[in-house]
Amino acid sequence: MQPSTNSLFDLTGQVAIVTGSSRGIGRAIAERLAEHGARVVISSRKLDACEAVVQAIGARHGAGRAIAVAANLSSKEALQGLVDRTVQQWGRVDVLVCNAASNPYYGPMGGISDEQFRKILDNNVISNHWLIQMCLPQMIERNAGSIVIVSSIGGLRGSTTIGAYNVSKAADFQLARNLAHEIGPHGVRINCIAPGLVRTDFARALWENPETLERATRTVPLRRIGEPDEIAGAAVFLASRASSFMTGQAVVCDGGATI
C-alpha cells in the first residue's frame, strides 16, 4: 500500500541515501523509508549484499524504487561517488541517513592502538562530515532537506569496554548541533537517533552471551534489547515533515535504558 499524500510521514518523490544499509538498523531504515514512498540508495562495502536489499525492496514496492551503490566509509572518493551516482540516477538527494559506523576495539581505553582509535573517529565522525558536506549544496539550493545521523546512547554515558566508540558517538551529537546552526537558515534540518542495545551483528558482542544480555537488560524498563525495525520509525519521522520544526536534536530509542 502506498502512503497517503496527506500523511505527515509521506516521503513520495523523496530520494534517500542510507549508508550501512545492507543489514541491521540501516536496512530496516531503508525498507521503511521505501515503504513510505521514498526512492532509496542502498550502500555498504559489499555490492552483492546491497543488491540483495534492492531486490527485496523491489519485490515489495516495485522495480526502480532502490539502487545499490557500494562505498567504503574510509574513502572520500568512494563517498563522493555514492552521491554522484545518486544524483545521476534521480537528480537529487533529499534525505541522508549516516548510519554506517565501525568499532574495531572492545576493551579499556588504555589498550586501544592509535590506528584503531583513528579508524573509529575517521569512520564514525569524519566520514559523516564528508558525506554531509557533499549533499548539502543541493539541499541548500532547494531550501529543503533532512540529514539523520545514527549515533548511540553510548555518546551519552561512559563505558569500560567501548569508550572510544562512545567518544565518536558523542562527537556525532555535537556535529549535528553545530551544523543545525549553520544550515538551519537554509531550510535544511539535521538530527540524530540514539539507539540503545539493538539485536544486530554489529552489537553481537554485547548481546550474544546470555549473561551479558541479562546484565544489559536487568535495569532497562522494557527488560529487553531492541530490534532493528524499532529504530526505523524514528528515521521516518526525522526524514518527513512530521519533524519539520526539529533540528539539532537526538531521538533516544533505548527501551528506557538512559532514564
Please report the domains of the chain, with CATH numbers, ordered by start residue: 15-253 (3.40.50.720)
- Between CA 42 and CA 183 the distance in angstroms is 25
pLDDT for 208? 64
Determine the pLDDT at residue 201. 73
- Looking at residue 68, its pLDDT comes to 98
pLDDT at 4: 53
Q: Cα(253)–Cα(193) distance, rounded to whole angstroms?
A: 7
pTM higher than 0.85: yes
What pLDDT was estimated at residue 210?
A: 76
Closest CA to 54 of 82, 22, 32, 24: 22
Task: Output b/e per residue, 214-250; b: 16+ Cβ within 10 A.
Answer: eebbeebeeeebbebebbbbbbbbbbbeebeeebbbb
Determine the Cα–Cα distance for residues 224 and 213; give it in Å rounded to an integer: 8
Per-residue pLDDT at 1: 47
pLDDT at 156: 97
Can you give the pLDDT at residue 218? Answer: 87
Angle at 252 between CA 221 and CA 143, to 5 degrees: 160
Catalytic center residues: 165
**Lookup: cell for 236:** 521516518
pLDDT at 213: 74
What are the per-10-residue average pLDDT scores of the chain (259 residues)? 70 97 96 98 96 97 95 96 98 98 94 97 98 98 98 95 96 98 98 92 68 81 92 98 98 95
Determine how β-strand 188-195 pairs with β-strand 145-150.
parallel
